Amino acid sequence: MSIRLAGKSDFDIVKEITHITINEIYPHYYPIGAVNFFLNHHNAVNIKNDISENCVFLCYNSEQIAVGTVTIRNNEIFRLFVLPNYQGNGYGKELLDFAECTIAKIYDEIIIDASLCAKALYQKRGYIECEYHTIKTENNDYLCYDIMKKQL
Protein backbone atom coordinates (compact mmCIF):
# COMPACT_ATOMS: atom_id res chain seq x y z
CA MET A 1 0.00 0.00 0.00
CA SER A 2 1.30 3.46 -0.87
CA ILE A 3 -0.03 7.02 -0.88
CA ARG A 4 1.20 9.71 -3.25
CA LEU A 5 0.30 13.20 -4.39
CA ALA A 6 -2.15 13.25 -7.32
CA GLY A 7 -1.11 15.09 -10.46
CA LYS A 8 -3.16 16.51 -13.31
CA SER A 9 -2.97 13.16 -15.14
CA ASP A 10 -4.73 11.54 -12.14
CA PHE A 11 -7.90 13.63 -12.48
CA ASP A 12 -9.98 10.86 -14.08
CA ILE A 13 -9.12 8.31 -11.40
CA VAL A 14 -9.82 10.74 -8.53
CA LYS A 15 -13.18 11.60 -10.06
CA GLU A 16 -13.94 7.93 -10.70
CA ILE A 17 -13.13 6.87 -7.12
CA THR A 18 -15.21 9.75 -5.77
CA HIS A 19 -18.26 9.25 -7.97
CA ILE A 20 -18.32 5.44 -7.84
CA THR A 21 -18.17 5.53 -4.05
CA ILE A 22 -20.90 8.15 -3.76
CA ASN A 23 -23.16 6.35 -6.24
CA GLU A 24 -22.75 2.93 -4.60
CA ILE A 25 -22.54 3.76 -0.88
CA TYR A 26 -24.43 7.00 -0.25
CA PRO A 27 -27.89 5.80 -1.41
CA HIS A 28 -27.88 3.49 1.62
CA TYR A 29 -27.67 6.54 3.90
CA TYR A 30 -29.18 9.48 2.00
CA PRO A 31 -32.16 10.26 -0.25
CA ILE A 32 -31.45 10.79 -3.97
CA GLY A 33 -31.48 14.58 -3.68
CA ALA A 34 -28.63 14.45 -1.16
CA VAL A 35 -26.69 11.92 -3.26
CA ASN A 36 -26.96 14.24 -6.25
CA PHE A 37 -25.82 17.14 -4.08
CA PHE A 38 -22.65 15.20 -3.19
CA LEU A 39 -22.02 14.35 -6.84
CA ASN A 40 -22.44 18.00 -7.84
CA HIS A 41 -20.27 19.19 -4.95
CA HIS A 42 -17.44 16.85 -5.96
CA ASN A 43 -17.56 18.00 -9.57
CA ALA A 44 -14.77 18.17 -12.15
CA VAL A 45 -13.94 21.82 -11.46
CA ASN A 46 -13.57 21.29 -7.70
CA ILE A 47 -11.46 18.16 -8.14
CA LYS A 48 -9.22 19.83 -10.76
CA ASN A 49 -8.76 22.89 -8.54
CA ASP A 50 -7.73 20.73 -5.57
CA ILE A 51 -5.30 18.73 -7.71
CA SER A 52 -3.74 21.95 -9.06
CA GLU A 53 -3.31 23.17 -5.46
CA ASN A 54 -1.48 19.92 -4.54
CA CYS A 55 -4.15 18.94 -2.00
CA VAL A 56 -5.19 15.55 -3.41
CA PHE A 57 -3.60 12.20 -2.66
CA LEU A 58 -4.20 8.71 -4.02
CA CYS A 59 -3.87 5.39 -2.21
CA TYR A 60 -2.58 2.40 -4.19
CA ASN A 61 -2.82 -1.26 -3.31
CA SER A 62 0.04 -3.76 -3.71
CA GLU A 63 -0.83 -4.18 -7.41
CA GLN A 64 -0.51 -0.40 -7.88
CA ILE A 65 -4.25 0.05 -8.46
CA ALA A 66 -5.60 3.36 -7.15
CA VAL A 67 -8.24 2.36 -4.60
CA GLY A 68 -8.80 5.53 -2.56
CA THR A 69 -8.31 9.27 -2.36
CA VAL A 70 -8.16 12.04 0.22
CA THR A 71 -7.94 15.82 -0.06
CA ILE A 72 -6.11 17.81 2.61
CA ARG A 73 -6.48 21.58 2.72
CA ASN A 74 -4.82 23.33 5.66
CA ASN A 75 -6.19 21.53 8.74
CA GLU A 76 -9.25 20.08 7.00
CA ILE A 77 -9.83 16.66 5.50
CA PHE A 78 -12.08 16.47 2.45
CA ARG A 79 -13.10 13.89 -0.10
CA LEU A 80 -11.90 10.76 1.68
CA PHE A 81 -13.20 7.89 -0.43
CA VAL A 82 -12.28 4.24 -0.93
CA LEU A 83 -13.77 2.28 -3.81
CA PRO A 84 -16.55 0.01 -2.49
CA ASN A 85 -14.84 -3.21 -3.66
CA TYR A 86 -11.77 -2.32 -1.58
CA GLN A 87 -13.50 -1.14 1.61
CA GLY A 88 -12.82 -3.11 4.76
CA ASN A 89 -9.17 -3.73 3.86
CA GLY A 90 -7.55 -0.88 5.79
CA TYR A 91 -7.22 1.64 2.94
CA GLY A 92 -9.52 4.17 4.59
CA LYS A 93 -7.57 3.85 7.85
CA GLU A 94 -4.29 4.41 5.99
CA LEU A 95 -5.67 7.47 4.20
CA LEU A 96 -6.98 8.91 7.45
CA ASP A 97 -3.68 8.16 9.25
CA PHE A 98 -1.82 9.88 6.42
CA ALA A 99 -4.10 12.92 6.48
CA GLU A 100 -3.88 13.25 10.27
CA CYS A 101 -0.07 12.97 10.25
CA THR A 102 0.20 15.53 7.44
CA ILE A 103 -2.01 18.01 9.29
CA ALA A 104 -0.30 17.37 12.66
CA LYS A 105 2.99 18.67 11.24
CA ILE A 106 1.53 22.20 11.21
CA TYR A 107 -1.75 22.31 13.13
CA ASP A 108 -3.07 21.15 16.50
CA GLU A 109 -6.65 20.56 15.35
CA ILE A 110 -8.26 18.65 12.48
CA ILE A 111 -11.65 19.51 11.01
CA ILE A 112 -13.78 17.18 8.91
CA ASP A 113 -17.32 17.28 7.51
CA ALA A 114 -18.62 13.83 8.44
CA SER A 115 -21.08 12.04 6.21
CA LEU A 116 -23.52 9.69 7.92
CA CYS A 117 -21.67 6.64 6.60
CA ALA A 118 -18.32 7.76 8.09
CA LYS A 119 -19.41 9.42 11.34
CA ALA A 120 -18.96 6.35 13.57
CA LEU A 121 -15.45 5.80 12.22
CA TYR A 122 -14.45 9.36 13.06
CA GLN A 123 -15.94 9.08 16.54
CA LYS A 124 -13.84 5.97 17.18
CA ARG A 125 -10.78 7.96 16.11
CA GLY A 126 -11.43 10.70 18.67
CA TYR A 127 -13.34 13.23 16.59
CA ILE A 128 -16.05 15.17 18.41
CA GLU A 129 -19.18 16.67 16.87
CA CYS A 130 -19.12 20.45 17.10
CA GLU A 131 -21.76 21.53 14.56
CA TYR A 132 -24.77 19.94 12.88
CA HIS A 133 -25.94 21.11 9.45
CA THR A 134 -28.79 20.42 7.08
CA ILE A 135 -29.02 21.44 3.44
CA LYS A 136 -32.26 21.26 1.49
CA THR A 137 -31.60 19.53 -1.82
CA GLU A 138 -33.66 18.61 -4.86
CA ASN A 139 -36.92 16.68 -4.40
CA ASN A 140 -37.35 18.40 -1.01
CA ASP A 141 -34.73 16.01 0.35
CA TYR A 142 -32.27 17.00 3.05
CA LEU A 143 -28.59 16.38 3.47
CA CYS A 144 -27.60 16.15 7.14
CA TYR A 145 -23.98 16.10 8.31
CA ASP A 146 -21.77 16.98 11.24
CA ILE A 147 -18.64 19.07 11.40
CA MET A 148 -16.27 17.19 13.64
CA LYS A 149 -12.96 18.20 15.22
CA LYS A 150 -10.05 16.35 16.71
CA GLN A 151 -7.43 17.91 18.94
CA LEU A 152 -3.90 16.70 18.32
pLDDT in tens, 78-132: 999 999 999 999 999 999 999 999 999 999 999 999 988 899 999 999 999 999 9
What's 139's DSSP letter?
Answer: G
pLDDT of residue 116: 85
pTM listed for this prediction: 0.95
Give residue 146's pLDDT: 94
Residue 77 scores a pLDDT above 90: yes
Pairing of strands 109-114, 76-82: parallel
What gap in Å lies between CA 70 and CA 2, rounded to an integer?
A: 13
Mean per-residue pLDDT, 58-62: 98
Pairing of the two strands 66-73 and 56-60: antiparallel
